[in-house]
Amino acid sequence: MAISFHDRSLISPLLILSKKHVTHQYFIQMVFIPFIVCSLLFIVTYAQGQDQTGEEIFFKANLAYNEGRYQDAIEGYHQLIRKGYRSGQVYFNLGNAYFREEELGKAILFYERAKILLPRDADLNFNLGYALDQTQDAIPKSSDFITQTFFWINNLNLGELFLGFALLNIVLWGILLIRLFIKPEWTYYGVMIFLIPWSIAGLSFGLKWYQVTMDDRAVVLQEQVNIMAGPHSDDTVLFQLHEGAVILHERVEDEWALIRLPDNKRGWVKNGAVEKIIGAAYS
């Protein structure tokens, strides 16, 4: 059964003069200002050149995807990520390309990475849900007190929560400054009113930051892996997992990774068989 993808374009990512008798004004007009202007022009030109490079890579990757050359598309999207274009749209398109190549584990891996940045994207959530339905292991989703109590943070990314908290800070401190100099009565009630959403926004941002930075989820990338009782090939096989299973990654010992399921089953697996959703390279 073919998945109904919604292919989309990505949001474009992102003289020294030495004379003894030169007046201060002359120096500013003839040296300093032209130097600043040239520097700014250089920065803008350099940035535009970088953007054009990203646009070109993206265009070729999208063209390859539309023509069914999914491996070429995958390489193009990875090239974008290596250049720093780590947007949700890039991860989403990369997940689509991996799904077309029937690499379910990597498709889920990049869908999950995209979801961190695009938590409310309907197309992404549909494709991720569809891909998870293709996995063999029935692993329940883990839930904790944070996600249950502060349920709205799952629908907002870290940048959005930071922006909301920053705006509330500006309003709150603006009211405090007015009260410091003028002290009208309404500022007292304004501070009391804004303290509630300010506290909620600050706590939500802090919890989201903790949730993202401490995210230890990983995805099984191989078709089938044995989960061992210890970090050795001759240890007892406890159970098996299959491609696309989302598990919890605890630690690495030599070439082995200790993983855990939401029901607290633990075991060791070859480190290359799994990859963390928020890994060191994140690419």
Residues 123 and 50 both lie in one domain: yes
Distance between CA atoms of 107 and 218, rounded to whole angstroms? 13
Q: Is 19 inside a domain boundary?
A: no
Residues 166 and 119 both lie in one domain: no
CATH number reported for the structural domain that contains residue 95 in this entry = 1.25.40.10
Domain count, the chain: 3
Residues 239 and 186 sit within 8 Å (Cβ to Cβ): no
Q: What is the mean pLDDT of the chain?
A: 80
Q: Does the pLDDT value for residue 78 go beyond 90?
A: yes
Question: Which pLDDT tens digit goes with each residue over 234-278?
Answer: 999 999 999 999 999 999 998 999 999 988 899 999 999 999 998
Q: What is the DSSP letter of 150?
A: S
Distance between CA atoms of 131 and 127, rounded to whole angstroms? 6
The length of the chain is 283
Three-class DSSP labels, 80-116: HHHCCCCCHHHHHHHHHHHHHCCCHHHHHHHHHHHHH
Residues 170 and 249 both lie in one domain: no
Give the structural domain span for 229.
217-276
Question: Which pLDDT tens digit goes with each residue over 35-64?
Answer: 444 444 444 444 444 444 888 888 899 999
Q: Is 138 inside a domain boundary?
A: no
pTM: 0.76
Last residue of a domain, one of 98, 133, 168: 133
SS3 127: helix
Residues 109 and 70 both lie in one domain: yes
